[in-house]
Amino acid sequence: MSQASYPSTRLRRPRAHNWSRALHRETMLTPADLIWPLFVTEGRGVEEKIASLPGVSRWSVDGIVARAKEAVGLGIPCLALFPNTPADKRSKDGAEAYNSDNLMCRAIKAVRDACGNDIGILTDVALDPYTSHGQDGLLDPSGYVTNDDTVALLVDQAVTQAEAGADIVAPSDMMDGRVRAIRMALEMGGHHNVQIMSYAAKYASAFYGPFRDAVGSGGLLKGDKKSYQMDPANGDEAMREIALDIAEGADSVMVKPGLAYLDIIWRAKEAFHVPVFAYQVSGEYAMIEAGAAAGIGDRDALLMEKLVAFKRAGCSGVLTYHAPVAARLLGA
Ligand code: PBG
């Protein structure tokens, strides 16, 4: 790149006024870039605040429907649903995950009934909200999370969600080979247009704590998820994960968490030219809220700066608990 030197070039020139900054802005964030994660709980008229996620609640299905209508009004194109499964329905094998009358399926159907195709419904495929041990898969006698046996259950879970009306199934479990197995089962079941957004590069992160409180798996989990989620030190390995998931039939891929992994987002976009999404996870959200509460900066400015960074890095969109706040700030 050649450019004239000072004073022919004064990069401050276009920055002088609002209109000019708007004209020169390289990256646009709009409500259409946002996916809103929501936590579902049993009951009617229930809202349970989540202490470690200030501003986020679990809602009973009727409340989820109200949030879905709110999202439509705000121009948010998609919801991501997560269940807080009652303790008595959690088991070693997480069988509730593929019960067609589980909380997730009832929430999917209620949103579909209320909103038709005005909003997309993304569902998480992993066993952790349904297991009594909080791991994402089946344990062998040594406590190791088995791969292939787990994949068989994830396939049942994904098909059950698709049958209930999910638009995008999003395997977040990090088992090997699950994208192909799920794609094949969806095709066989006639769910040709159900998308797979693969949590392709998902790291064993310390930022998931508030989420585990929200789905009620935090207190159950012993140990960690390092035998399946990725080592935060690895980037090349993320490219291999993403390449495999695309080859297996993923329609889009996700990098998770978000901000600490912008390099992975950038590399993925450069290498594969597929839709890449970021999950700004619960701990990231909580840090912004805690920082603002502690007086380190203006909450709205902090959150918008982080969200636009995902777009600048190459994301097609972002899963964020700030989705409704951000959509309102964007003038929706
Ligand atoms: C479950 C899952 C997790 C998140 C999304 N799906 C937690 C985990 O892997 O332990 C984390 C999301 C967040 O922290 O906001 N497999």
> For the segment 70-112, what is each residue's pLDDT rounded down to a tens digit?
999 999 999 999 999 999 999 999 999 999 999 999 999 999 9
Structural domain contains residue 6: no
How do strand 47-49 and strand 57-59 relate by DSSP bridges? antiparallel
Q: Cβ(160) to ligand 1 under 6 A?
A: no
Structural domain contains residue 266: yes
Structure tokens at 238: 């993320």
pTM: 0.97
Residues 6+ apart with CB under 8 A from 129: 82, 83, 84, 85, 97, 215, 216, 217
> For the segment 109-139, what is each residue's pLDDT rounded down to a tens digit?
999 999 999 999 999 999 999 999 999 999 9
Please give the pLDDT value at position 59. Answer: 98
Structural domain contains residue 9: no
Ligand 1 centroid distance, CA of 255 (Å):
12
> For the segment 278-316, what is each residue's pLDDT rounded down to a tens digit?
999 999 999 999 999 999 999 999 999 999 999 999 999
Structural domain contains residue 7: no
CATH code: domain of residue 33: 3.20.20.70
Number of structural domains the chain divides into: 1
> For the segment 174-185, what is each residue's pLDDT rounded down to a tens digit?
999 999 999 999
Looking at residue 238, the DSSP 8-state letter turns out to be H
Ligand 1 atom nearest to CA at 217:
10
Structural domain contains residue 4: no
Structural domain contains residue 14: no
Please give the pLDDT value at position 115. Answer: 98
Instruction: Indicate if the alpha-carbon torsion angle 292, 309, 82, 117 is positive or negative.
Output: positive
Residue nearest to atom 14 of ligand 1 (CA): 208
Torsion angle of C-alpha atoms 317, 218, 125, 77, degrees rounded to 10: -30
Structural domain contains residue 20: no
How far apart are alpha carbons 175 and 227 in whole angstroms?
Answer: 10
Ligand 1 atom nearest to CA at 136:
16
Which range marks the domain in which residue 298 is found?
Answer: 28-331
Q: Cβ(136) to ligand 1 under 6 A?
A: yes
Residues 6+ apart with CB under 8 A from 230: 174, 201, 202, 203, 204, 237, 238, 241
How far apart are alpha carbons 248 and 269 in whole angstroms?
Answer: 18
Per DSSP, helices labelled H in 170-235 are 178-188, 209-215
* CA angle (35 as vertex; 307, 99 as ends), nearest 5: 145
